[in-house]
Amino acid sequence: MTHYKAVLFDLDGTLVDSGSLVAESARRAFDDFGLPVPEREAVIAYMGIPIEIYFEKLAGRTFAEVHPPDLYDRFRSYFRQMVGEDMLRPFPGVAQMLEALKENGVRTGVATSKTTDPARFTCEKTGLAPFIDVVVGSDIVSAYKPAPDTVYKCLELLGTDRGRDVLVVGDAEGDIGMGASAGCATCGVTWGAHDAERLSRQKPDFIATSMEELLEVLGLGPGEGG
């Protein structure tokens, strides 16, 4: 039986297998604006922090040649188009895991670096929305990951106090930093942006290398009453 009262998840790279779509959307947007087109791996390495931060890092000095909001809108348009064409999928077992949490009375939230409306759209299109209680994106907090603001906002909307009985799950260093700075337990997952070695730099409480291991962390594994 799980002992967490709430579990907050990152979205891209944690719940949904979006790395290739994010990278392709960024590459198309950069090309449209005449910016140096980044390698797929470079884009994925930055996942977990808002595009408002890492697009400038990818573009370097050429970033000054564009109007950033137009670039961000173009990226989001490409990504939304791909999601609308059913090109995005949750990772295997994610829907079942979220359903099990709901059945066990655990509140759930998405704490993402995406803006809120696109994040909700992603949850709806991938069939995860019925199992998620709140979605908080970077547009409704004062400070981005790894600041704790996104966690604080999720818990405020859930009506839940922060503490070690709240687990933050994510695939990037920023997710772990966010959860730790909010005083919550943390779990890194290795099927997204960052591997176990990189995640370990943030000293998460747990690292899950498979869905089976994540279920064990959640108390939903075999023989645990989940």
Largest CA-CA distance found in the chain, in angstroms, rounded: 58
Per-residue pLDDT of the chain (226 residues; tens, 9 = 90+): 678 999 999 999 999 999 899 999 999 999 999 999 999 999 988 887 889 989 999 999 999 999 999 999 999 999 999 988 989 999 999 999 999 999 999 999 999 999 999 999 999 999 999 999 999 999 999 999 999 999 999 999 999 999 999 999 999 999 999 999 999 999 999 999 899 999 999 999 999 999 999 999 999 976 554 4
Q: How many CB atoms lie within 10 A of CB 24?
A: 16
Before 146, cis peptide (omega within 30)?
A: yes
205 secondary structure, DSSP code = S
The pLDDT assigned to 173 comes to 93
The pLDDT assigned to 86 comes to 87
The pLDDT assigned to 3 comes to 85
Give the neighbor-by-neighbor strand order of the sheet with 6-9.
Answer: 134-136, 107-111, 6-9, 166-170, 185-189, 206-208
pTM comes to: 0.88
Q: How is residue 16 written in tokens?
A: 């949904």
The pLDDT assigned to 47 comes to 82
Q: How is residue 195 written in tokens?
A: 């591997």
The pLDDT assigned to 224 comes to 55
